Structure 1
């Protein structure tokens, strides 16, 4: 449908339409900033590839062009998981463009890419988690704000199984220390209430009483006298060393330091504690759908990957329940 100036939407420049799409997924669909960054990186790469084929208008996108783009990525040696993600990104874009009338048809609807390799998540054993958390508790005995924060953050990551983006987005008001719950804003802005245990409550309480006020004062001292304090910083549950809201990268570095002392290989980011929490819940007999609700998974299939790493629990149930075990 033509716009107010009589131009067909599909005749607009590809890169400009990508900007509109990114604004849509950020504000209308309220996708996480991490997802938006992935969309931007993938689509900007496609824009550059299309320009090399003399395609600069969005209506010049064809299924053949998209297939050639993925093939070129494969020839460059990109991982199958990366190619699969790129395919998903461009399908989301072309579907939106078609539904919004920018394109007459969806050229990405038949686009297929190899599925990402099925890697089982890294899971830390229960005794190792205990050693890690005891070590953090020992370092937080004094009044060092960083040690108090690190203990509280890792305790909550493991206790509630939250994503790192959810952790750093928490405000003080989101934590109910009486009911032992935390209100989390997940993917797509969907809220859920997640329980946590007494050890996490004690760590959060110590951080709020002895650690957070010190870092908040540090942040205030670094703020120019004529500048207003950022409400998001003063409301944030976890603060960085300079008194502002703890960032995702800082949370990654924190967890990497904690997990670096463990033997074995595998990812050392905050998601490791999320994987570990889910697996330990299933090992303890938790219902799969309850774990799905706790983690905020839209699909039960996403949660089911943890059943593959809970075979020990399955074998124990079999030995105690099956008459021919």
Structure 2
């Protein structure tokens, strides 16, 4: 039987029905995440949603249309202890959420309880004792080098017609594969962050950390063609964004995900379904070409080498070749 789907919960309805002290606390936590930790809107929304879910469980509030409201004057965190945290996480598990989701939500709640303890809202941090199942790491599909070549060839055929959207799409695909940047980083690029003479882009990654990422000649040609011939046809007013949507505004990540998926479908046998697959393909091909993990870590913008080791994989053939070439007892 196929696995059951998690029950959908209306977090906005739960938030509306929490006691005022709890909603005030969530708002203060959101400000902390935005202003002090400088997290993205998407991350703030996810963290806040997990906290709302926990507080709803604590106060007996759910997202049903006829669900009860908590007492308006109830204290925000009364009764929050390790037992409540474990019961909430068990309920998440029973609702059908994956190990990856459970792990993420447990981590979000641990971050929250550590913060409220530092703020003096709790004497101790109950989240420090909360354990969660380790997520199963699943790697995205990856293109073979010849498939990547075919993807760009097919995209370039459309761009040859000089249609503005086709020029943009080709430049997006070339730059994603050439640099391995995240889709949010690509969409956040401004014109002045592309240095054609050096063939590098200046990327603002997670935590507002800037890094410089090189790209090759095919990506340079595609991006130049877009900037010189395609972008002027779509731009409205004074927009600094490198890539634009059809209405002249900054390109939306959802549009990029759709165009990558559609482009990948033109390549027989492609396992790539989105921009993350192109990022993974770029990293894999760099490693197979001889790049070291530290360099790939820097290019991808990973905080730790462990992330790069999990995110990329090296073929058995290359590992065996390295062993044969370097180990004194290989032959």
Q: Determine if the TM-score, normalized by the shorter chain, exceeds 0.5.
A: yes
Q: Which residue of 2 aligns with 1:31?
A: 39
Matched-pair contact (CA < 8 Å) for 2:162–2:229: yes
**TM-score normalised by L of structure 2:** 0.85
Q: Distance in 2 between matches of 1:308 and 1:253?
A: 26
**Structure 1 residue corresponding to 2:186, chosen from 152, 163, 167:** 167
Matched-pair contact (CA < 8 Å) for 2:179–2:299: yes
**Structure 2 residue corresponding to 1:85, chosen from 80, 91, 104:** 104
**TM-score normalised by L of structure 1:** 0.87
Matched, 1:151 2:170: yes
Q: Distance in 1 between matches of 2:270 and 2:107?
A: 29
Matched-pair contact (CA < 8 Å) for 1:17–1:58: no
Q: Distance in 2 between matches of 1:307 and 1:85?
A: 21
Matched, 1:277 2:282: yes
**Structure 1 residue corresponding to 2:249, chosen from 244, 253, 256:** 244
Q: Which residue of 2 aligns with 1:141?
A: 160
Question: How far does the alpha carbon of each residue in 1:76-128 deviate from its partner, in whole angstroms, 9 at most, with x for none?
Answer: 11100000010011111111222232332212111110011121332111100
Q: Distance in 2 between matches of 1:196 and 1:125?
A: 19
Paired residue secondary structure (2:131): coil
Q: Which residue of 2 aligns with 1:48?
A: 56
Q: Which residue of 2 aligns with 1:5?
A: none
Residues 264 and 93 from structure 1, CA distance in 2 versus in 1: closer, same or farther, beyond 3 angstroms? Answer: farther
For this pair of structures, how many residues does the alignment match? 301
Q: Which residue of 2 aligns with 1:71?
A: 90
Q: Distance in 2 between matches of 1:58 and 1:264?
A: 53
How do 1:97-136 residues align onto structure 2 when only pairs under 5 Å count? 97-136=116-155
Matched-pair contact (CA < 8 Å) for 1:152–1:204: yes
Matched, 1:206 2:216: no
Paired residue secondary structure (1:157): helix
Matched-pair contact (CA < 8 Å) for 1:148–1:206: yes
Residues 283 and 43 from structure 1, CA distance in 2 versus in 1: closer, same or farther, beyond 3 angstroms? Answer: same
**Structure 1 moving runs of 4+ over 4 Å:** 53-56, 263-267, 319-323
**Structure 1 residue corresponding to 2:205, chosen from 186, 190, 196:** 186
Q: Which residue of 1 aligns with 2:28?
A: 20
Matched-pair contact (CA < 8 Å) for 1:59–1:103: no
Q: Which runs of 5+ in 2 are unaligned?
A: 1-18, 62-69
Matched-pair contact (CA < 8 Å) for 2:201–2:214: yes
Residues 103 and 262 from structure 1, CA distance in 2 versus in 1: closer, same or farther, beyond 3 angstroms? Answer: farther
Q: CA RMSD in A?
A: 2.0
Q: Which runs of 5+ in 1 are unaligned?
A: 1-10, 221-228
Q: Which residue of 1 aligns with 2:302?
A: 297
Residues 157 and 103 from structure 1, CA distance in 2 versus in 1: closer, same or farther, beyond 3 angstroms? Answer: same
Residues 144 and 206 from structure 1, CA distance in 2 versus in 1: closer, same or farther, beyond 3 angstroms? Answer: same
Give 1:14 deviation, angstroms: 2.1
Give 1:318 deviation, angstroms: 3.1
